[in-house]
Amino acid sequence: MAKIAFDLLRFVVCDDNAHMRRILRTMLRAFGSREIYEAEEGASGLEAVEAYQPDILITDIKMPIFDGIELTRMIRNPDGFSQAYLPIIVLSAYSEKSQVIAARDAGANDFMCKPVSAATLYGRIQNIIESPRPYIRTSTYFGPDRRRQESSFSGEDRRVEDSKQFIAVPD
Amino acid sequence: MNQPENTQVSWPEYRSIEVENALGAKALRPGNPHDALAAATKKADTAIEQLSAQFPAWMQGESSRLNKIRVEMVKEGYTAERLDQLFTCAHDIKGQAATYGYPIAGVIGKLLADLIDKTPVGVQIPLPVIDQHVDTIRAIVRQNLKGDGNAQTSNIIEGLRVLNHTTLKRLHASTPAVAAAPAK
């Protein structure tokens, strides 16, 4: 654990609501960040990511042209986009589980519900910087490992024994 | 961030890629994380507090935008495009009103957004039902009703919940079921 030098971090904030962008910018500036670029919809968000090469993208879901989920999917293209590993925090007024899962499956690193507090925003950024997850590439997914943590438990690990019966170990 | 890849585990259809923590190397510095968090959030909360003088005007702007779309719906027609605009505005209010200090308006925004979201595509929501949501939000802003509300606002919210429930039930009941495709 350590403190974060926000003055060394560059952000792109993508939200179609100017007031929300102002609030996020105010929080990030208060944390110490000096490089905060804004975009007001998915297409200009993608352009901003390409142009400014941010360290972290914070994006809303519901936006015109293409939304935050589509923006995340377009970025998570390791064969066609240079910023495919960019940490992405999806921010939305949608709190339904389906939207959280959609953001996760698109490759978002984290999700935040509006209204957002400074402590929550700081915590999400801290988590991304201090505890980055490995990336997973399959035929249908590229992005951070969707298993967030390995939970410890007491007792016999039956999954290991059971899995030996069903899963062929690759060469 | 163009990260160097160090593939740890590889199956034909699955690769776990351990990426170098370039962001950590760039931005983590020795220090007490708890003190850093407390100082950063205190500074941010102070900055938001200074910004909050503008929140009533911002909330007024959202309320006016909502009303403008409703008026256009009444005068110029209920269209899918206007309904989408109304949803976007209600959704914005749902997400931001609490930050502006009007959490009750946020709850009403959520009720309106949910109503639009759950209405069958192509079915018109009765305008008086939309009016009740829009007028309630406007009244909250006009009266500068900040905070978590009171017994009266709880009753209004509950009334809108019941209204939406019965409206959706009626709209779904009146929507003809999609006919099954004929067998080929």
A139 in reach of chain B (CB within 8 A): yes
User: pLDDT tens across B41-80, in order?
Assistant: 999 999 999 999 999 999 999 999 999 999 999 999 999 9
- Residue entry with tokens 């950063």: B40
- Contact assignment for B40 to A31 by CB distance below 8 Å: yes
**Segment of A52-56, A131-135, B91-95 carrying the highest mean pLDDT:** A52-56
Q: Which residues of A touch B52 (CB under 8 A)?
A: none
Mean pLDDT of A141-162: 66
Residue B180 has pLDDT above 70, yes or no: no
Q: Mutation target for A interface from B11, B23, B43: give the one with most A CBs within 10 A.
A: B23
pLDDT at A155: 62
Interchain CB distance below 8 Å, A134 and B11: no
pLDDT of A97 over the 90 cut: no
Mean pLDDT of the residues in chain B: 89
DSSP H or E stretch at residue B7 = strand B5-11
Q: What are the chain B neighbours of A87 within 8 Å (beta carbons)?
A: 1, 23
Could you tell me the fold of the domain covering B52-171?
A: Four Helix Bundle (Hemerythrin (Met), subunit A) (1.20.120)
Task: Tell me whether A147 touches chain B (CB under 8 Å).
Answer: no
Q: Which residues in chain B are closer than 8 Å to A139, comparing Cβ atoms?
A: 13
Q: What is the pLDDT of residues A58-82, one digit of tens each?
A: 999 989 888 999 999 999 999 989 9
pLDDT score of B182 more than 60 = no
Higher pLDDT, B182 or B6: B6
Mean local confidence (pLDDT), B119-130: 95
Q: Is residue A169 situated within a structural domain?
A: no
In which residue are the tokens 């999954």 written? Answer: A159
Given the structure tokens 């339904």, which residue do they identify?
A: A96
Residue A86 domain flag: yes
- pLDDT tens profile B133-175: 999 999 999 999 988 878 889 999 999 999 999 999 999 998 7
- The rounded Cα B54 to chain-centroid distance in angstroms is 20
Please tell me the total count of domains within chain A.
1
A162 assigned to some structural domain: no
Q: What is the arithmetic mean of pLDDT over A99-112?
A: 94
Looking up residue A79, the CATH number of its domain turns out to be 3.40.50.2300
CA atoms of A24 and A15, how far apart (whole Å): 10
Q: What is the sign, positive or negative, of the torsion defined by CA atoms of B18, B20, B22, B25? A: positive
User: CB B48: neighbour CB atoms within 10 A?
Assistant: 17
Q: To the nearest whole percent, how much of chain A has pLDDT over 70?
A: 85
Q: What's the pLDDT score for residue B8?
A: 56
Contact B28 A129 (CB under 8 A): yes
- Residue B184 and residue B175: Cα distance in Å, rounded? 26
Q: For chain B, what is the radius of gyration of the CA atoms? A: 24
Domain boundaries, chain B: 52-171
Buried b (16+ CB within 10 A) or exposed e, A27-54: bbbbbbbeebbbbbbbbbbbebbeebeb
* Per-residue model confidence as pLDDT tens digits over B16-46: 898 889 999 999 999 888 899 999 999 999 9
pLDDT of residue A118: 95
Residue A160, in any domain of the structure:
no
Retrieve residue A110's tokens.
Answer: 């984290």
- Rounded Cα distance between B77 and B152, Å, is 33
- Domain containing A61 equals 6-147
Nearest CA in chain A to B34: A3
Comparing CA positions, the residue from B107, B131, B117 lying closest to residue B168 is B117
Above 60 in pLDDT, residue B98? Answer: yes
**Structural domain contains residue A132:** yes
